[in-house]
Amino acid sequence: MMFTDLALRQRRLAGAELMFGKGLALCGEYSQNSTRKKNLLNNALAGLAAVSDSRMDWKQAVARLSNWVNADQKNANAHSRLGQAQFRLGQIGKTSASFTTARKLDVQRPLPEVSMALLYEQARERPQAETLIKQAVQIAPQNLNTRLAVVRWALSAGMHELASENLKVAQKLDAYSLDVKLSVGLAARFAGNHKQAVGALEAALQQSLRNFEAMNHLALTLIDATDEKERIRALGYAQLNAQIRSARSSRPAGEATVTLAWVLFRLGHADGAERVLQAILNSGPISSESDYYAAVMLHDRGRADISRKILQTALVRGSQFPGRPEAEHMLEHLSQSAAANTPKRGGNLRRHAVNPWLTARSIQIVTENRQLLGPFGHFRMKFEHSEHLNSCLPCICCLMINRILCC
């Protein structure tokens, strides 16, 4: 099963499906330990459903998740995942029922209205999402998890007043909650309040020393500081976070690696930036913010074509993140250059001097030490000397954006 999970994370879907199916068959023959058999059965059924999810075969996903629910009717995660697949098929009534059951089995889960609102947001149907979010607040105004879910959604939707309003309520409900501190830090990052963001994230990290989100956001906040000592601290947090996640093939691992590469890039060190490529190849989807950082670094290496594709993918999701206005400005510039068939390489970073992520110090490093900034030298050597370069470029872009090798 361990090899099967690894194959799934690496998107070797045919192999994963074959191994999960074999594991499911072996579970039927196993009888020595009932608890172990149940765990293995759940893992196999969940894995088969995950393969269908990855293929976006929602009918098959619903069928496989239904099998999982029937095998373990008290598993809240199974009901929740079934609801997500049902939503993709437009089965709204069944989706609500599945989320309601999941909530009954695990009261720590979001309200059904919140879960459905997030799905509507992903489907870029914000009016429906906003309606459900408001309903959730009316149903459970004193529920901390509901308030925090509204804060996260509002920040991603660019509704900062709504986020601030619900964050104040959450702080009154439990100011010492780790999730509250993380939300305060994230909201401060969006507002550009460096001091408050650092204070909240450091408090969260003291409460949970290995917390991924606290460490990642703290590194991204500190690297934007004007004080060089603060920027060096960012490197320490980024390195530690990447080291902790290095043994895992997961979204946090990919995010941590991109953050480390970005911090190294901002400090003028090229040796870590190549890890961005590996993170994108070896992980699943990463956040829009991380995609933006990867696009900036690729653009600096003269890969405006791939940079533009990554930015398009990041921005089409519609979610807000610190630095999104700069990402939109950069995409507009790259699109204009592509239309004029005059792509320009890293020197165009001067155009982004107003970018808060690219301080005068960073631009000085980029322009004066360009010979050091070669994190993608091997990548470029591998493809630029191919006689089939033109035909391969779309597939390289697909490789970067979709995290799979499509040719």
Domain of 86: which CATH number? Answer: 1.25.40.10
Question: What pLDDT is stored for residue 13 in this prediction?
Answer: 84
Of the candidates 334, 325, 286, 287, the residue with the CA atom closest to the CA atom of residue 306: 334
Residue the block writes with tokens 């519609």: 318
Q: What is the pLDDT of residue 244?
A: 87
The answer, yes or no, to whether residue 391 has pLDDT greater than 50, is: no
Measure the CA–CA gap between 210 and 26, rounded to whole angstroms. 37
Residue 336 within a domain:
no
Instruction: Measure the CA–CA gap between 48 and 4, rounded to whole angstroms.
Output: 10
Q: State the total domains in the chain.
A: 1
User: Around Cβ 167, how many Cβ atoms within 10 Å?
Assistant: 23
Tokens of 181: 């501190």
Give the range of the structural domain holding residue 76, as residue numbers without chain letter.
Answer: 1-104
Assign residue 323 a region: left if phi > 0, alpha if psi is -120 to 50, beta otherwise? Answer: left
Mean of pLDDT values over 89-118: 95
Examine residue 275 and state whether it is found in any structural domain, yes or no: no
Predicted local distance difference test score (pLDDT) of residue 318: 73
The pLDDT value given to residue 357:
37
Residue 59 CB coordination number (10 Å): 11
In a domain, 246, yes or no: no
pLDDT per residue as tens digits for the range 312-338: 888 887 788 898 899 999 999 998 888
Structure tokens at 140: 């459970």
pLDDT score of 175: 94
Torsion sign, CA atoms 225, 228, 233, 238? positive
Q: How far is it, in rounded angstroms, from Cα 16 to Cα 5?
A: 7
CA distance 315 to 373: 26
Q: Which residue has the tokens 């950082």?
A: 293
Decide if 261 contacts 253 (C-beta within 8 A). Answer: no
> CA dihedral in degrees (394, 399, 403, 406; nearest 10)?
80
pLDDT digits (tens, 9 = 90+) for 112-169: 999 999 999 989 899 999 999 999 999 999 999 999 999 999 999 999 999 999 999 9
Give residue-wise pLDDT tens across range 195-237: 999 999 999 999 999 999 999 999 999 999 999 999 999 999 9
Residue 19 covered by a domain: yes
Residue 59 lies in a domain: yes
pLDDT tens by residue, 31-46: 888 888 888 888 889 9
Per-residue pLDDT band at 26 (split at 50, 70, 90): confident
| 194 is a domain residue | no
Tell me if 58 is assigned to some domain: yes
Percent of the chain with pLDDT over 90: 48
pLDDT score at 221: 97
Mean pLDDT for the chain overall? 80
At position 382, the amino acid (one-letter code) is: K
* Distance separating alpha carbons of residues 294 and 274, to the nearest angstrom: 10
Of 6 and 338, the one with more pLDDT: 338
Dump pLDDT digits (tens) for 66-80: 999 999 999 999 999
- Torsion of the alpha carbons at 38, 39, 41 and 45, rounded to the nearest 10: 130
Please write the tens of the pLDDT for every residue from 186-199.
999 999 999 999 99
Amino acid symbol at 320: Q
Q: What Å distances lie between residue 38 and 54, 77, 238, 291, CA to CA?
A: 24, 15, 39, 39
To 10 degrees, what angle do helices 92-105 and 112-122 make? 130
**393 in a structural domain:** no
- Note the helical H segments in 89-125: 92-105, 112-122
pLDDT digits (tens, 9 = 90+) for 232-265: 999 999 999 988 877 655 677 778 888 998 998 8
Q: How far is CA 103 from CA 77, 109, 177, 196, 250, in A?
A: 10, 6, 21, 34, 26
Q: According to the model, what pLDDT value does residue 32 have?
A: 84
With 50 as the cut, is the pLDDT of residue 396 above it?
Answer: no
How many angstroms separate the Cα of 218 from the Cα of each of 150, 347, 352? 22, 29, 23
Q: Is pLDDT of 352 > 60?
A: no
**What number is the average pLDDT over the span 352-363?**
37
Amino acid at 119: L
**What is the reported pTM?**
0.74
